[in-house]
Amino acid sequence: MSDAIHYFPKDFKWGTATAAYQVEGNSHNNQWALWEQTPGNIRTGDKAGLACDWWRNAEADFDRMVDLGLNAHRLSVEWSRIEPREGYFDSAAIDRYRQMLLGLRQRGIEPMVTLHHFTNPIWLEEQGAWESEAVVPRFERFVAKVVQSLGDLCDMWCTINEPNIYAIMGYLTDDGHMPPGRPGDFNLTLRVIRNMLLGHAAAYQTLHAHQPLARVGIAHHMRAFQALRPNNVFDRVVARLQDYAFNQSILEALTRGRWGAILGRGASQSARAVRGTLDWFGLNYYSRTRSYFDPKRHDLLFSNIADTPDGEMSDHGYGEIYPDGLMHCLRRLARYRLPIYITENGLPDDDDNQRPAFIVRHLRVLWTAAQFNYKIQGYYHWSLIDNFEWGQGWRMKFGLYAVDPQTQARQPRNSAWLYRDIAKANALSSEIVRRHTPELSPVLFP
Ligand code: BGC
């Protein structure tokens, strides 16, 4: 057979993903709004400002989702808007989120709501945010309010986005320029991850208590770790170690209720409450990391990371394009027999010369994984529109649509139409596969 239409499972979710602070605009009450004020914290000196103006008019972009034939969208609610002061809930903010969720529903788009995507209200940040276990009941109270207020419009909940990235960027490395900007504290990094997982577990119970049929998951960032020098035994050991610390220990806590050797360092609380608190897995997959043994890094168990020499990088060296890594992650997740959603996958690519092939190459992997009977149920591309890319400001262009933050003008990139064609057909045709990945077989059967 030289031509085939590779259908995705029935009811597959085709979506995009965004986060409140990156798109809403005029958000002044969280730690990122403070962080932006200090010169140097945002590499480009940019500010989120009006972002993509969603607080006023997300609906115009919801219409674009309809143009693309999407049936799902992942967005987050901003804690600092809903609970601007501790214990006080703002009904106008809640109403705006109700309007947004209704707007999605009316367009046939199923919302997935993330409850924490990197931002903390200033009042929480002043109390140390996720550094202290005191955050857990506070998060629980916020989640209870959200499910009581929005639960008629949403039953698909993503508790926390990327505990590992949040903790590592804030407390271990300064690469990401993320608050609180206190790099080098390994033990605190681990404690923050543990508190986030305990917060996740509390949210899971709360969501189910208020909404028995809630579907609750987490967005876990996984990367493919491989030895920089494949024949070097030390590099291989370091790659295993990093994979375990970054990818696996979080999976083990969530499924077996154990912190394990690394995440458990200095733990005062058991992980038992975290066990079994998932109805589905969310995988954020972007890239591969090459690991190497570095005798100078005794603080990090002698491990360091690098880019692949000659690897295909996306804009500004953001990351290597490595679709095979998606299969490594999916194979790992499939063992747990839970439904899997790709809650983020994308790249910065201003001129859109890499994105079309990126999308097709990753979707080929996803389709193949579905043929292995892995429970792949949806794909949320990061992102619909260019948005405020945290410490990188506006220079990283992740959107299917280009956005000019000054004028708010949108311009579809070619990949928007490619993604539309795939989503509308619920399939990858050989014609699309051939056009965008001519070096690979147009027929995907494994
Ligand atoms: C985060 C997003 C971010 C994206 C691209 C993910 O780690 O969840 O907020 O914009 O990566 O860097």
Which of 344, 345, 384, 400 for mutating ligand 1's site (highest number of atoms within 8 Å of CB)? Answer: 344
76 CA to centre of ligand 1 in angstroms: 12
Residue nearest to atom 12 of ligand 1 (CA): 389
Q: Residues enclosing ligand 1, CB less than 6 A?
A: 19, 161-162, 165, 221, 284, 344, 382, 389, 398
299 CA to centre of ligand 1 in angstroms: 26
Query: Angle at Cα 193 formed by Cα 166 and Cα 141, nearest 5°?
Result: 90
> Which residue is it, tokens 């050989």?
430
The DSSP secondary structure of 160-197, one letter per residue, reads EE-HHHHHHHHHT-STT--TT--TT-HHHHHHHHHHHH
241 closest CA partner among 306, 197, 293, 284:
293
Task: State the Cα–Cα distance between residues 346 and 223, nearest whole angstrom.
Answer: 13
Task: State the Cα–Cα distance between residues 254 and 269, nearest whole angstrom.
Answer: 15
Both tokens of 67, joined, read 């143009």
441 CA to centre of ligand 1 in angstroms: 31
277 closest CA partner among 355, 339, 218:
218
What mean pLDDT is predicted for residues 427-432? 95
> Which residue is it, tokens 């409450």?
273
> Which residue is it, tokens 């970054």?
246
State percent of the chain over pLDDT 90: 96
Is residue 149's pLDDT more than 70?
yes
From residue 375, give the alpha-carbon distance in Å to each of 5, 8, 248, 278, 333: 20, 11, 19, 14, 10
From residue 362, give the alpha-carbon distance in Å to each of 51, 269, 365, 367, 433: 28, 39, 5, 9, 11
Give 312-337 pLDDT, tens digit per residue: 999 999 999 999 999 999 999 999 99
Give 109-119 pLDDT, tens digit per residue: 999 999 999 99
Amino acid 189: pLDDT: 97
Query: Angle at Cα 315 formed by Cα 357 and Cα 8, nearest 5°?
Result: 30
Alpha carbon 354 to its chain's center: 20
Q: What is the CATH number of the domain that holds 79?
A: 3.20.20.80
pTM: 0.98
Task: State the Cα–Cα distance between residues 145 and 334, nearest whole angstrom.
Answer: 33
The DSSP secondary structure of 273-318, one letter per residue, reads GGTT--SEEEEEEEEEEEEEE-TT-GGGTTEEEEPPTT--B-GGG-
263 CA to centre of ligand 1 in angstroms: 23
Q: Work out how many domains the chain is built from and give that number.
A: 1
Is residue 128's pLDDT more than 80?
yes
204 closest CA partner among 215, 194, 196:
215
> Which residue is it, tokens 């917060």?
199
What is the largest distance, in Å, between two alpha-carbon atoms of the chain? 63
Give 209-257 pLDDT, tens digit per residue: 999 999 999 999 999 999 999 999 999 999 999 999 999 999 999 999 9
What mean pLDDT is predicted for residues 407-422? 98
Amino acid 299: pLDDT: 81
More confident residue, 439 or 344: 344
What mean pLDDT is predicted for residues 361-378? 97
8 CA to centre of ligand 1 in angstroms: 25
Is residue 138's pLDDT more than 70?
yes
> Which residue is it, tokens 């209704």?
102
- The pLDDT confidence band at residue 174, using thresholds 50, 70 and 90, is confident
Closest ligand 1 atom to residue 383 Cα is 10
- Which structural domain, as residue segments, surrounds residue 149? 5-444
Is residue 286's pLDDT more than 60?
yes
Query: Angle at Cα 238 formed by Cα 232 and Cα 242, nearest 5°?
Result: 145
Residue nearest to atom 3 of ligand 1 (CA): 389
- The pLDDT confidence band at residue 394, using thresholds 50, 70 and 90, is very high
Is residue 187's pLDDT more than 90?
yes
- Which residues touch 244 (CB under 8 Å, ≥6 apart)? 260, 262
